[in-house]
Amino acid sequence: MNCTCPKCKASTHIDHSEITEKGIDRICGACKSRFWLYRESFGGRALKKRGEIFCAVCGGELDRSIACPSCGILYPEYVFAQATKAVPKRTVHVRSTYYIRRRPARKPLPKKTVAPKKPVKKLKIVNKYTISAAILAVLTLAGSVVYSKYKAVKEYSANYTKVLYGIKTGTDLSLKPFEKIASSPASSFSPLDPAPSLSSNEQSRLNTIKTQIDKNMKKTENPPEKFVSAKENLNKLYGVYVKIHAFALQSSGSTRDSLESAENLKTEFKKSSRELKSALPKQLSDELENARAKYRNLRDF
């Protein structure tokens, strides 16, 4: 990849596969100064406010989207350069100190003559402890069941919105060449021209997105009982997306026929999207609203 020197801004070629999380140092060929390159995960981009960042897989420059513009991989690790060496993170161990307050010794009380007590039946005491332990076990089990259901609903909602984001992104990229032709002047193309075809890079990116969608679809195969109807609507929307994906990769016929087919598929996709959104449960609807603030492609979904 072509990296920019942080001091003199000169372009330097670096093999991005050699860069690790601990970092490596290189000498700038222009200003002869030393600078460091580091590799971080996708989550660290929130702390990277300035400077260029590059994809750790293909070496291409990254923008603000969650997918690499060059290779199309989602949530890519990134590489960046800085003029100074990063300070290693330290683990701070805190030693706890406990103080024991000793009470002064008490004087023994004078013994009193006490009438002999009646023997207590041990069976009753055992029953009290047994009942308390049983109640505690039942409450603990009920709490764990409720928490596991809440966690399952939360994870399913997150995977559901990831599938919607992937389907929306893949659909937009598949129909983009046909929408571009449809919006151009009629004199710029002939209806009898062959249908537009995608480049190898565009086809590879569409296949990468579909692979990620299929992985997330598997995570939604066993929905909670209240999300069964939402899962059925998601399957219908996914079926429309599969047809759009296949149409984009194997478009044939004339330009006029391909534009008509693309418009019909776009209309079918919008209809399935409206049906899905109108029947979403409250938890999925709230998760979708949160995802719209995070994913730009979902804002017009």
* Structural domain count of the chain: 2
Residues 64, 156, single domain; the answer is no
Decide which of 50, 82, 114 is a domain's last residue: 82
User: What is the arithmetic mean of pLDDT over 164-185?
Assistant: 84
In this structure, which amino acid lies at residue 6? P
Q: Give the residue, 245 or 87, on which the prediction is more confident.
A: 245
Q: State if pTM tops 0.85.
A: no
In this structure, which amino acid lies at residue 76? P
User: Which band of pLDDT confidence, cut at 50, 70 and 90, is reported for residue 127?
Assistant: low
> How does the average pLDDT of the chain come out, rounded?
80
Range scoring the smallest mean pLDDT among 90-94, 238-242, 279-283: 90-94
Distant-in-sequence, close-in-space partners of 234: CB < 8 Å, separation ≥ 6: 160, 163, 164, 220, 276
Residues 275, 187, single domain; the answer is yes
Residue 234 belongs to what domain range?
149-298
Decide which of 62, 82, 102 is a domain's last residue: 82
Does residue 14 have a pLDDT over 90?
no
The predicted structure's pLDDT at residue 190: 63
In this structure, which amino acid lies at residue 17? S
Helix ranges (H only) for 219-281 are 228-249, 255-278
Residues 70, 161, single domain; the answer is no
Residue 94 included in any domain = no
User: Which band of pLDDT confidence, cut at 50, 70 and 90, is reported for residue 121?
Assistant: low
190 — phi, psi (to 5°)? -110, 135
Decide which of 82, 101, 135 is a domain's last residue: 82
Does residue 26 have a pLDDT over 80?
yes
Residues 293, 159, single domain; the answer is yes
Q: b/e per residue, 230-247, with b = 16+ CB within 10 A?
A: bbebbeebbebbeebbeb
The predicted structure's pLDDT at residue 30: 83
Does residue 125 have a pLDDT over 70?
no
Max Cα separation, the chain?
A: 118
Residue 46 included in any domain = yes
Phi-psi category of residue 108: left, alpha or beta, with phi > 0 → left and psi -120 to 50 → alpha: beta
Does residue 88 have a pLDDT over 70?
no
The predicted structure's pLDDT at residue 275: 92
User: What is the arithmetic mean of pLDDT over 3-24?
Assistant: 80
CB 25 within 8 A of CB 35: yes
Residues 180, 47, single domain; the answer is no
Residue 141 included in any domain = no
The predicted structure's pLDDT at residue 124: 53
User: What is the arithmetic mean of pLDDT over 182-211?
Assistant: 77
- Percentages helix, strand, coil for the chain, rounded to the nearest 5? 50, 10, 40
